[in-house]
Amino acid sequence: AQRVTQPEKLLSVFKGAPVELKCNYSYSGSPELFWYVQYSRQRLQLLLRHISRESIKGFTADLNKGETSFHLKKPFAQEEDSAMYYCALRSHNQGGKLIFGQGTELSVKP
Partner 1 sequence: GAVVSQHPSRVICKSGTSVKIECRSLDFQATTMFWYRQFPKQSLMLMATSNEGSKATYEQGVEKDKFLINHASLTLSTLTVTSAHPEDSSFYICSAPLRGRGANYGYTFGSGTRLTVV
Q: What is the DSSP letter of 77?
A: -
* Residue among 21, 16, 19 nearest 87 (CA): 21
- The 3 state secondary structure assigned to 21-43 is ECCEEECCCCCCEEEEEECCCCC
- Least Å from the CB of residue 75 to partner 1: 25
CA 46 to chain CA mean position, Å: 10
- Least Å from the CB of residue 79 to partner 1: 19
Identify the residue among 60, 69, 103, 107 touching partner 1 (CB under 8 A). Answer: 103
Identify the residue among 13, 44, 50, 68 touching partner 1 (CB under 8 A). Answer: 44
Question: Does residue number 53 form part of the binding site for partner 1 (CB under 8 A)?
Answer: no
Question: Does residue number 100 form part of the binding site for partner 1 (CB under 8 A)?
Answer: yes
* Residue among 87, 106, 77 nearest 35 (CA): 87
Interface contacts to partner 1, rule CB under 8 A = 9, 34, 42-46, 49, 84, 86, 94-103, 105
